[in-house]
A and B are shown apart, each in its own frame.
Chain A
C-alpha cells in the first residue's frame, strides 16, 4: 500500500540552527514527492518537489530536501531556521491508483517550532 510517514509529531530548533523534518515513503514505482507547509487556519503552500533527476531539491524560503531511494526517505532541511518557519509541515506522495490519477497521500504532519 502507498503510504507516507512523518515519524516526528514535533520538531523544536533554535533560531539560526539547521533543521530537519523527516519523511519516509512506501510506494510502488517511481514516486513523486512533495513538501507543503501550513500556517494556522490556512491552506497548504507548496515548498518543493522531487520528480526525477538530482536527488537534492531546492525549494521556496531556503528549504531543500534530499531524495534517498535506498532509504526511501525525503527529509526536509534548512541550514538556518527562522522563527517565521514555525508551522505545520506535510510530506506527500503522488501516485496513480485504479485509474484515478494524481492522488496525493499526506503524512501526518510535523509541527516545527523555531525558538528565538
Chain B
C-alpha cells in the first residue's frame, strides 16, 4: 500500500515556541492531506484538510492562526503549532489518499506525540 511518513514521531517543546510537523507521501502524489488530533483514549478529530497549492480548509473550532498548514508540493504537507501551550499537547496524525492508484482508503502517518512543557 501507499506509504505516508510523518516526522518527528515525538517532540517536546517549551510553552510559547512553535513546532513544525511534516507529513510526506513517499510513493504517491497527494493533492489532499488531512490533519487529525487525538487525545488519550479518544477518537481522531479532523482538524483541517490540506490542499496542494491552496489554503487549507479548517474544521469548526480549529484556530487557523494557531495551526498553520502548508501544502506546497504534492508530497509534503506541514502543520505548524504556533505559540504552543500545554493544552496543545496531543497526538497529531496526518493522512493522505492516492486517488491515482484507484484506491479509496486513506493512508496514515505514524503520528507525532507533541508535549508542551
Contacts and interface: CB of A to CB of B under 8 A. Distances in A.
Q: Please say whether chains A and B are actual partners in one complex.
A: yes
Interface residues of A, number: 23
Given A41-B111, A49-B105, A104 B34 contact: yes
Contact of A42 (B95, B97, B111): B111
Nearest to A60: B1
A90 B1 contact: no
Interface stretch (A20-28, A68-76, A106-114): A106-114
B34 A100 contact: no
Which of B1, B6, B95, B109 neighbours the largest number of chain A CB atoms within 10 Å of its CB? B95
Interface stretch (B38-46, B68-76, B82-90): B38-46
Mostly helix, strand, loop or mixed at chain B's interface?
Answer: strand
Interface in B1-56: 1, 4, 6, 9, 32, 34, 41-44, 46, 49
Contacts of A101: 32
Given A34-B105, A104-B106, A43 B46 contact: no
B113 interface: yes
Given A41-B113, A44-B93, A108 B42 contact: yes
Contacts of B49: 100, 103
Interface in A7-65: 32, 34, 36, 41-46, 49, 51
A111 to B, nearest CB: 8
Nearest to A50: B104
Contact of B32 (A43, A102, A108): A102
Given A43-B93, A100-B49, A100-B57, A106 B105 contact: no
Given A43-B108, A102-B32, A103-B34, 5 more contacts: A34-B106, A41-B91, A43-B6, A101-B32, A109-B42
Interface of A: 32, 34, 36, 41-46, 49, 51, 90, 94, 100-109
20 contacts: A32-B104, A41-B113, A43-B4, A43-B108, A43-B111, A44-B108, A45-B108, A46-B1, A49-B104, A49-B105, A51-B104, A90-B43, A101-B32, A102-B32, A102-B97, A103-B46, A104-B46, A104-B106, A106-B43, A109-B42
